[in-house]
Amino acid sequence: MTTKVTRYRWVILILAIIVLGYACLRLFDMNQRMSVLEVQRLSRGPVWFVTSVEFDTLRLNNTLLKYADDQADSSDVQTAFDILWSRLDQMRRGVTLETLNEYGVDLTVYNRLASLLETTEDRVAALGPNDAEQARALVGAFEQELGDLRAAGLDVLQASLTESNDIRVDLVAIARTILVMGLILSGATFLLFVVFALDSVQSRRSLREQKALLQEAHAADIAKSQFIAVISHELRTPLTSITASLELLKRGIRTQSPATAGRLVEIAEHNCTALRRLVNDLLDAEKFESGKMEFDFQVVDLSRMLERTIESNKAYAASYGVEIVSDGIEPDVRIKADAPRIDQLMSNLLSNAVKFSERDGKVEVNLRTDTGRAIVSVRDHGRGIPQKDRSRIFERFQQVDSSNERERGGTGLGLAIVKAIAKAHDAGLTVESELGKGSTFIVSFPLAE
Amino acid sequence: MKILGLLGMALLCLAPTLATANPVLTITSDVKADAPLVVRYDLEDLEALAQARYDTINDFVDVPTEFSGPLLRDVLAPLSVPEDATLELIALNDYRFDMPYADAANYDVMVALERDGERMSVRENGPLWIIYPMSDHPELQAPIYNSRLVWQLTAIAIK
């Protein structure tokens, strides 16, 4: 949805601009139409002219009647005559004539009135004292046109009203169109707002992801460098011992007592074992990582396995001046497992605990069952693991402190292998630790049915 | 303002229009409520003022037409009309229409005496016709300004 909206943002924008342009055109059109209404609202439009002509004709007649009754003089009559003339003349030219033609009104009566003015011009100019009869005769002549003038005036009024009405209908239509366009524009604006907001969120998110990836890559790079340094050290130390033992053997091959030669061979053998274990660890870690490790699950007696593993690691612990003690091993605890891998798991946990114990320290091993699970715990009394590092100690190539590793020895692969084996056995793996007091690693296997 | 007022009064005293025999234009002012001023012009008085002349179109002529006569602001000068005053233009048949004095101050609005060099009779919308320079100022070609072209002008009331 987001991608679609984002993809069509330009279409939405262009549509919004088109709608806006069309709305402007309609508004401009409306403004033009309004000017016609403005002309009608102001005086001196066509309606004003036709009404004025009728009114001025009546006024002329009225002045003529007053003249006949001696209440007005001839100049008043002449003025009224001239005003009517000018009004009629003005009505039949300029914008007024154009509008009247547009209305399609029959203008015959106005032409007739103009002719009447021309034919009576001399009689009006010649009006003298006591020309009452003449004045009344003129009144009669003009009166004959009044009915038609009224009818023509009403026609113009009707045409004007129709025009106003048409414009009003148009204006209502335009107003409605603009309302709809306003709604469309609001919708488009809202969509664009959403699109740009989503864009902004997306770009911020991808920036964060890039940053995290970069940090991860950097961390992996550092971890790898440390790993290589550790491995080189771990490889070189036993190799140096082996080389030195063999060198001594070679030099004293004739003079050495069998006991001395035997000790040198033992040292070389011990270091070969260490080397083999290291290489095995590396290969195992890689197999676990690529998912190529194969397991042979059988029901095994975990209690006996654990005791054997403790026994076989005692010598190793002693080399660090550490004692491994059994802190309660529940007998006959059976689980479904790959025995060599469980041995590897426990050995790794024990050697890890030994390495991080102080000299003359103790590593306590416990096995108990609880709600369908066999729970093994390995406890040391070392310096403990800081809270922030607890989650990453099981990661490959990750070490709490490489200098610490150097002091204690080890590749940093042991716990990663523990985690992989535990996972393959559907076992839980947790660590509890208190700085300065030690750590406890707990593995809980499902019991065999 | 005071000096202008005094000058106006002096002009009024000098002008022969107060006692003119055939007035064609009467201007009254009730801007000063206590002493309304009245000025009357006959055709000769109007001709004696500086004459403007220009061609213009409007809604009531078919082609651009030349009009000439004094500028309205000059005609009103003796009365010291305030900038914001309204002028009520009154025609021979008592037709009335308002225009702001600002039009006269800002544009060369004319009290036309002649059309195409000829005096205008009543039949030709004369003798006085208010004309705006619409050809020179297209913004004046609007219905409202055409309504202010009062012909057969006989009086102006300043309000």
With beta carbons less than 8 A apart as the criterion, state whether A409 and A357 touch: no
Confidence band, pLDDT 50/70/90 cuts, at residue A27: confident
Q: How far is the C-alpha of A63 from the C-alpha of A56, rounded, in Å? A: 10
Alpha helices in A291-372 (DSSP H): 302-319, 339-355
Amino acid at A417: I
Looking at CA atoms only, how far is residue B103 from chain A in angstroms?
A: 18
Q: How far is the C-alpha of A118 from the C-alpha of A115, rounded, in Å? A: 5
Confidence band, pLDDT 50/70/90 cuts, at residue A67: very high
On whether residue A330 sits in a domain, the answer given is yes
Q: How far is the C-alpha of A229 from the C-alpha of A219, rounded, in Å? A: 15
On whether residue A206 sits in a domain, the answer given is no
The CA-based angle B68-B70-B75, given to 5 degrees, is: 155
Residues A430 and A348 in one domain: yes
With beta carbons less than 8 A apart as the criterion, state whether A308 and A342 touch: no
Q: Which residue reads 């491994």 in tokens?
A: A324
Amino acid at A207: L
Token couple for B59: 């809604």
CATH for A248: 1.10.287.130
Residues A263 and A350 in one domain: no
> Which pLDDT score is estimated for B16?
37
Each domain of chain B, given as residue ranges in start order, spans 2-158
The three-class DSSP label of residue B156 is strand
- Interchain CB distance below 8 Å, A83 and B152: yes
Domain count, chain A: 3
CATH for A389: 3.30.565.10
In order, the DSSP letters of A36-54 are HHHHHHSSSSHHHHHHHHH
- Which residues, in sequence order, are bridge partners of residue B37? B29
- Interchain CB distance below 8 Å, A94 and B62: yes
Domain B2-158: homologous superfamily in CATH:
Oxidoreductase, molybdopterin-binding domain (3.90.420.10)
> Which pLDDT score is estimated for B124?
93
Question: Hey, how many other C-beta atoms are within 10 angstroms of the C-beta on B87?
Answer: 26
Residue in A with minimal Cα distance to B123: A86
Looking at CA atoms only, how far is residue B129 from chain A in angstroms?
A: 13
Q: How far is the C-alpha of B31 from the C-alpha of B100, rounded, in Å? A: 14
Chain A within 8 Å of B61 (Cβ-Cβ)? Answer: yes
With beta carbons less than 8 A apart as the criterion, state whether B65 and B56 touch: yes
The pLDDT tens digits for B83-122 are: 899 999 999 988 899 999 999 999 999 999 999 999 999 9
Residues A173 and A272 in one domain: no
User: How many contacts, defined by CB atoms under 8 Å, are there between A and B?
Assistant: 51
On whether residue A317 sits in a domain, the answer given is yes
- Interchain CB distance below 8 Å, B144 and A95: no
Token couple for A19: 């709608």
Residue B13 has pLDDT above 50, yes or no: no
Residues of chain A in contact with residue B92, where contact means CB-CB under 8 angstroms, are 79, 83
Which one of B61, B123, B128, B145 makes the best mutation probe of the A interface by having the most chain A beta carbons within 10 Å? B123
On whether residue A263 sits in a domain, the answer given is yes
Average the pLDDT over A301-312 and give the result.
Answer: 91
What domain range is A251 assigned to? Answer: 220-286
Ramachandran assignment for A33, one of left (phi > 0), alpha (psi -120 to 50 degrees), beta (any other): alpha
Residues A178 and A225 in one domain: no
> Which pLDDT score is estimated for B1?
42
Token couple for A375: 């729970």
Residues A273 and A330 in one domain: no
Q: Which of A23-27, A59-63, A142-146 has the lowest mean pLDDT?
A: A23-27
Q: How far is the C-alpha of A299 from the C-alpha of B116, rounded, in Å? A: 128
Residues A165 and A28 in one domain: yes
Asked whether the ipTM of the predicted complex exceeds the cut of 0.90, the reply is no
Q: How far is the C-alpha of B151 from the C-alpha of B138, rounded, in Å? A: 21
- Interchain CB distance below 8 Å, B60 and A59: no
Residue A138 has pLDDT above 90, yes or no: yes
Q: How far is the C-alpha of A203 from the C-alpha of A200, rounded, in Å? A: 5
